[in-house]
Chain A
Amino acid sequence: MTNGWIDIKNTDMMLIMGGNPAENHPCGFKWPVEAKRQRNAKMIVVDPRFTRTAAVADLFLQIRPGSDIAFLGGMIRYAIENNRIAREYLVNYTNAAFLIKEGFKLPEDGLFSGFDAAAGAYDRSTWAYDETRPGEAANDLSLEHPRSVFQLLKRQYSRYTPEMVERITGIPQAQFLKAADLFTSIRKDGDMKKAATVIYAVGWTQHSSGTQIIRTAAILQLMLGNVGRAGGGVNALRGHSNIQGATDMAGVFDLLPGYLKIPAVADTDLKAYLARTTPTGAKPSKWDSMNYWANTPKFAVSFLKALYGDAAKKENDWAFHYLPKIDRKYSWTEIWDDMYAGKIKGIFAFGMNGVAIGPNSQKNIDALKKSDWLVVCEIYPDETSEFWKSPGVTADEMKKIPTTVYRLPGAGFAEKDGTFVNSARWLQWKNIALPPPGEARLDQEILARIFLGVRDLYRKESGKFPDPVLNLTWNYTNPANPSLAEVAREINGRDLTAGQQLPGFGLLKDDGTTSCGNWIFCGSWPEAGPMMQRRGTEDPSGLGVYPNWAWSWPANRRVLYNRASCDPAGNPWDPSRKQIWWNEAQQKWLGIDVPDFKVDSPPKDHMGPFIMNPEGVGRIFAPLAAFTDGPFPEHYEPVESPIDNPLHPQQSKNPVSKRFHSNMDKFGSPAEGYNIICTTFRLTEHYHYWTKNNQMNVELVPEPFVEMPAELADDLGLRGGEKVKVTSARGHYIAKAMVTRRIKPMQVDGKKIYQIGIPFHWGYRGIAEDEGKTALTLANLLSPAAIDANAYTPEFKGFLVKVEKI
């Protein structure tokens, strides 16, 4: 989130889309409810199904899965047409006024300029600012120049008329206009006092154009001047208790902790790597920019020092070559595809039910059948740890599976300490409630013992390039079971000369005198102690900042980009919710929140609030390598779609998003009878594949089901509770029908379309499953291995199926 959970109570207007927080974040949802209660804030919910979030909304619109860019693009057009934009904010805090190079082409035919069909990728050199001199962006502050970002934006979304929105999304024009009017009403007559927030979750990310959906929302929010404001922002609701922590610490193949980029094969040395990954940008000459990522060398070198300690020296490029260098993508879906192709011999599945998570579960199951070994660390036997018991595997086949399976009993969340990082970027330390039972072990102990065993083997037997393993720092008091407090201190970082914990990332250096495991967490454990263990309940401003409760990255800032909460002169747009302000006497920025800015940069220097962008401003236009599929979002159809893209039928789908091509990767079309759109979702009462083992949760929702419109049930001659079989090109799923009025048939580009929803919490192992009460099918047997072009998230929401009564 750019903002935070509690901050949502400050909002006047909420757009909740691609997310169902009432059901999936009920505790966090308290804050949208508070906003309604205390501020009469309005809530607009857009979802393929009328969910429990929709039940408390002021306005609900049912949308076809995967058409969100069309909806949001239509909103952008509406805002521009009706002059409901934050003009001063737009001109001064975004790149709306920047001019784009000649030669850039908008995708009116479905392709931006520079598409190389053979490579299946874009040459992005035309997606660039027009620089009068290197580093100096040409601009027109009146926003009228035809090559200004603003005019290009206007042209880009001029095609997203209410009529087009209706054709693509299935939302009737009148309803769409009602929503657009309501959401943008906060900027009516140029009023800057109100703030609107956009709240989303995996209903946006789990699409082949997921990243661009979020981009469209970001553009809308920048246009409306909501980013940096209390009650504003672009707010992702993370789906697991520590997934934010996981991405912060780079549990992702192409990152290093703190969102540093992983080295590539072309980075022949540290200098080349830093040159590639340290951004420079262009901006108007009179404007200042902090360009905080210019400090990349400090973060990278400190990280290498944390990993390799004294073995990282200036002479050996700080052990840069110890880091792996990627030659291609190794995202989640790639890994399983590689395993299916026999290229990956073994997999560690730690608290991760890979077979059930999918996509295309059967491919994942078959991939495991080819692997040499599988190490599962889990708290319950699950579908992955018993993949040979998946339905359809005969006794004979089972005997032929060569995989050696190691099942390590792990610890549950209440049995571990350490921090969780929530959606609001708060690091909160938790204590152990009870020890792991029996032979179960903590994650750090399991990993440490594996590491020490591997290191030992390298010491005894040597091997190919043992240096990174042998030189990895492992100076824990108990090397076989490191205390997470020690790890947290290591992540925070130290000044190696003074031997002291660092108080913040501003003190990191690139000369090898500092070490830091993750620069954005630097400051979480200074000399004073663990900041994330603080529990101060004071909120002096009343804006829900709670500056002494836990510790948020970066530097305990609660609302990011908060400089933008003030006008260019340094006065808050809304004095009743002031966050930071310029104090002329003290010549610095003061506030009720830590300024996300250079604290002594005066307003007259016009330093941009978006300090992590090299330009210093928010990107309406995302230039160059920012995204693989376009500097502006464009609506593309999902990989399996019932219609051709009305905007450009000849280029219906995203030309850059990846589909896999093994013999297990089949895709269906309406011509083959796959006419119904399917989406997968989560219930409040269950948590992924874990709670099917817990009696309490099973009591609340005992059996799997398929949610479908009453009209579809009528067509099939089906009543609620009767069994249905849902089939995609990849597999089938059997469960009872939940016949409801909460999903209506839609008219999409003139076609009557049904959509159904499947909660995915069941598989072939669990309380109900073991009692023979279910058909033992996994929802993700249906989903396709097609992934987002930028974040590689699979398209779990919005693929095609058939439905029949059985």
Chain B
Amino acid sequence: MSSNLRIQAISGHSGAAPGAGTQRGERVAKLIDTTTCIGCKACEVACLEWNDLPFRETVFDNTYQTMPETAWNYWNLIQFREHVRPDGTLEWLMRKDQCMHCAEPGCLEACPADGAIVQYENGIVDFQQQHCIGCQYCVAGCPFNIPKFNPATKKMFKCTLCTDRVSQGLEPACIKACPTGCLHFGSKDDMIALAESRATQLRDHSGYERAGVYDPQGVGGTSVIYVLHDATNPEAYGGLPKNPRVPLSVKLWKGPLKWLGNLAMVGGLLGVTLHYLRFGPKQVIEKETDRA
């Protein structure tokens, strides 16, 4: 079952994307069940190996976490957090952190470069580095702090949801490597159903009364969804925002401000043209006496 790479949205593009408004195939999704993640980092290594990402130097930072956040050459990272519950017991939360592949991607909306970010019909949001100008607007547009800059090549990078594998009917590398089966891949509908049934199981049988699915609607839902022990407290999982949205500033900038700006510029040009036609230039009468 290979997935469709027809493009539904293109950053910085004047005119519609070829696939806009169509939906021939299914949207895909990766389900991450944090309740069965053991933080083994097989997914980190699989991503590095599949994508041929080079070695980076790391330092000890009082945690098992490999590095503080994802990097241009480290696209997925387990976030480890020691979290004390209200009753004093400890939990050690482990969350696989990577691009969420939002249905309404803030990065794509913010990006000014034509074709640098595309969104496929299957929901995957992919950076096309050949069109990237390294302006880092995507960094500002993303509520999950995902796009990362390579200072040497001045291009932005992030998880690709293995579009190269997915388009050939394979699951992403991280999913293949996960030993406990905490990662699942399939159609969004199927993954939501699986996630909900797992969350129900956690509530009914494991004492996690607030277990739930994280599929934030503020960005239109995502192609990466989580099952959380406590869906009311995503921040406990190392920086997962509770109600992520494409930032208001981005929406204002790309929406009302565009209109205002265009109005101002066009209006300004029109204005001065009309002024000239109506009033003409200021004339200065030269006097003979000045020539002395």
Interface residues in chain A, defined as those with a beta carbon under 8 Å from any beta carbon in chain B: 22-23, 26-27, 29-30, 33-34, 36-37, 40, 50, 52-56, 58, 684-685, 695-696, 699-703, 705, 719-721, 736-742
Contact = CB atoms under 8 A, between A and B. Distances in A.
A29 B92 contact: no
A20 B92 CA distance: 15
Nearest to A53: B38
B181 interface: yes
Interface in B58-84: 58-64, 66, 82, 84
A23 B64 CA distance: 12
A699 B56 contact: yes
Given A50-B90, A703-B60, A684 B40 contact: yes
A55 B180 contact: no
A719 B61 CA distance: 11
Nearest to A737: B62
Contact of A52 (B40, B48, B90, B207): B40
Prevailing SS type, chain B contact patch: loop
Contacts of A703: 59-60
Contacts of A37: 36, 181, 198, 201
Given A37-B36, A52-B40, A702-B57, A29 B179 contact: yes
Given A55-B92, A699-B58, 9 more contacts: A37-B198, A54-B92, A55-B39, A58-B206, A684-B38, A684-B41, A700-B44, A701-B66, A741-B82
Contacts of A33: 36, 180-182
Nearest to B205: A40
Contact of A30 (B66, B181, B201, B206): B181
Interface of B: 35-42, 44-45, 48, 55-64, 66, 82, 84, 90-94, 179-182, 198, 201, 205-207
Given A29-B180, A699-B66, A52 B36 contact: no
B39 A52 contact: yes
A26 B38 contact: yes
A707 to B, nearest CB: 10
B60 A742 contact: no
A36 B36 contact: yes
Cβ-closest 8 pairs across A and B: A720-B62, A22-B38, A55-B92, A703-B60, A26-B40, A27-B179, A33-B180, A40-B205
A771 B36 CA distance: 37
Contacts of B37: 56
Given A702-B58, A702-B59, A23 B40 contact: yes
A56 B38 contact: yes
Given A50-B90, A699-B55, A702-B59, A741 B41 contact: no
Contact of B55 (A40, A685, A695, A740): A695
Contact of A56 (B35, B48, B90): B35
28 contacts: A22-B40, A22-B180, A23-B40, A26-B38, A29-B180, A30-B179, A33-B180, A37-B201, A40-B205, A50-B92, A55-B38, A56-B36, A58-B207, A684-B38, A695-B55, A696-B45, A696-B55, A700-B45, A700-B58, A700-B66, A701-B64, A702-B57, A703-B59, A703-B60, A705-B60, A719-B62, A721-B60, A740-B82
Contact of B41 (A700, A719, A737, A738): A700
Contacts of B93: 55
A22 B42 CA distance: 12
B62 A721 contact: yes
A742 B55 contact: no
Nearest to B74: A699
A721 B45 contact: no
A300 B44 CA distance: 50
